[in-house]
Structure 1
């Protein structure tokens, strides 16, 4: 009989050697509100259980889908093959796709035909795979109804004020700090701290945010998974010669003339345009850059500065800058 109330939307079956990739997928799915079975999320729950029996239940009865991460390592493991047998028993009983193969390589797995559609992980980032899993789940009507019901409850019946108090390491109030709340879908709310060090936001939809804080006299601050349910206080520490900036589409860096405009490339990398500014001594533009890696800029007056992008999502970027090279 088909189960319409699965404990997990998706279970992940993988070899430990591939954990780094799979963990990024698991974290991305969790942030999207998808119920995922990933062993490190279940440590307390697995503690003391008969794992042979319990994992059989997970992969045979308790997940809507299972993603099987195929690799040479997978084929050599006792536990992964136990999980595979449980999945295949479920797949045999149902007349729909249940096992979703994702391949690191061309290893043959017993019972998984080469004609079965699969995802080539050499061409997919963990975030891209999580997006595909979410799309697959969205085609399941019971999942769609549950997701819609959950999202509906997150919409506040009445808007409310969320406040952030910003102070320095000496408990001194910091005014004129720029603060931005960025949601996972790249929508955002902007604010600035007042004379009391307070930045206020009108919250109309309950969700988790990434908080960005910038100030010309302080390094950048980024805090993830901020729940606006209760007001918070953030301490920022001054470092001589350092400043920070939040850029919306494009912006100007203090100490250097001209504008910069970061953008996301089609391959998910990042690149930078600069108006009348040389990047890295005159590299062709747009010039590729990486998060948390310093790059140099020089204007037509010989003024130079080093900057580092700490965050970039949608069109919102958080930047540290300094006369000296940043790390």
Structure 2
């Protein structure tokens, strides 16, 4: 017999992030719409060229395609809904909608951490064990690694989300513009120490082992590069991983920046904007970084654009 205190069964939540400022909301709407379209375009282009260009049929670009697909799904899990809510009067999202948004965005965020580690391992094998690279990183292993990356990310997210949503809620107004797990937990009436523990363990699992794997991969990669005699050879070898390293620094840098800030009890505007930029910046920058820092992607992109834009005019 459950004690029916002052909590009721919640069927919907109200996302009231930034709703106190009309001007800020409109600016946010325009900015997010533009960024979302750029993310869709840039990442779709990366996926298309890595499929169409036979030179890009390698493990590195297979994982890069996964990363681009992941970024499209990740931003699609909350930006369209957010754009609707920002512009609507009611600002409500159904309980199920909120649950789905949370599972998907948490799952994809976790998957990205693990995927970046898998990509570092791929670069490690390519540079430190080049003769056995095609044998080690065969199609079967790549497919398995990619699949397990997604499965692990979603299992971690599912546990966190289910445990957050079975709590009794004392209110349904979320001080955020997306269903974010920490903002949601502020509404629960009961004891959330288990949730905090699970989220901490989840964050640890998703951040620390991948970071260590990336760190050690790059120690081996750099020591191998330093042993190359010609400076031209060193530069050429390093150029294959400079894009990945840039993405890693951007992704983990913004994640650490977000988690290391002093936590205040009430979520303020700057926290919400930082959370949003964290969710949007990496998906936005990945295609740009890979197009600028990676010669093969740059060449394939130019070939694709010339073939499709130039020949259409003739």
Scaled to the shorter chain, the TM-score interval is under 0.3
Q: Which structure's relative contact order is higher, taking Cα pairs within 8 Å and 6+ residues apart? A: 2
TM (normalized to structure 2)?
A: 0.25
Q: From the two aligned structures, give the one with the greater helix fraction.
A: 2
Q: From the two aligned structures, give the one with the greater strand fraction.
A: 1
TM (normalized to structure 1)?
A: 0.24
Higher Rg of the two aligned structures = 1
